[in-house]
Amino acid sequence: MSRLSLVLLKREFESRIFVSLGIVAGVCATSAILSPGTPSLMALLGSLAGVAEGAFLGAGFLALAGVMGLLSLLRMWAGTELTASRVMAFRVQVDEFHTAGPYRLVRNPIYLADFLAMCAFSLCLPPIALLMPALFWIHYERLISYEELSLASGFREGFAGYAASTPRLFPTLKSLGRLGGALREFRVSSDGFRHNCLFLLFVPGFLAAAWTGEFLLAAGIGLPGVADWAIVHTRLGVRR
């Protein structure tokens, strides 16, 4: 990899929170401008399935409430293992790498939780919003590549062995075989909860949306948690 490529990856990694928020804002704005009045992807799927829109959206929002709860637990669990000082640092941290808890299943459980959350949100927007998980996929692949180059140079054989046995982002049947051992190590500290609960308010948000059929209600309830996380992330990142 060229020096210029490494410099660009480093810059992207250190500004990852702003890139992520920019992707979300850009896709939402594009959806509003190019697809006003277009039904959400979830509504279109319900229509294809021949299910009444209200019933399908209600069930879909209920399912998304459960998904957001699970993704929040995964993120808080992984964040507990790393601590906020590592997760929210702007620069890559190469003094250690973690293999316990959710890191038995995948090497990047926080990115996995965030990527699946973006997939869930895109279902609530017009089909053009599928750009959101697509752009996050590209962004996360670049972040992970830079992070793992740094870890591989610092830990060599130790990290190489871990990378060979543990998938990068999505669990495999083999790695899921370690789920029992991982769950025995489940823990969420106050630090892990406080700094990784950005999706948690979407749980009551989607429950409210299931009642009303309005995604904007879910967004209104959930977004303050994301805003709080972004502010805290930036403050801690700048401090370190």
Please state the domain count of the chain.
1
Residue-wise over 103-117: b if at least 16 C-beta within 10 A, else e?
bbbbbbbbbbbbbbb
Q: What is the pLDDT of residue 102?
A: 97
Q: What is the pLDDT of residue 123?
A: 96
Record the pTM. Answer: 0.95
In terms of C-beta density within 10 A (0-12 exposed, 13-18 middle, 19 or more buried), how is residue 203 classed?
A: buried
Q: What are phi and psi of 104, to 5 degrees?
A: -75, -25
Instruction: Render each residue's pLDDT in the chain as its tens digit; 240 residues.
Output: 678 888 889 999 999 999 999 999 999 999 999 988 899 999 999 998 888 888 899 999 999 999 999 999 999 999 999 999 888 888 887 777 888 999 999 999 999 999 999 999 999 999 999 999 999 999 999 999 999 988 887 787 788 899 999 999 999 999 999 999 999 999 999 999 999 999 999 999 999 999 999 999 999 999 999 999 999 999 888 775
Q: What is the pLDDT of residue 85?
A: 86
Domain that holds residue 168: 3-239
* Cα(234)–Cα(103) distance, integer angstroms: 25
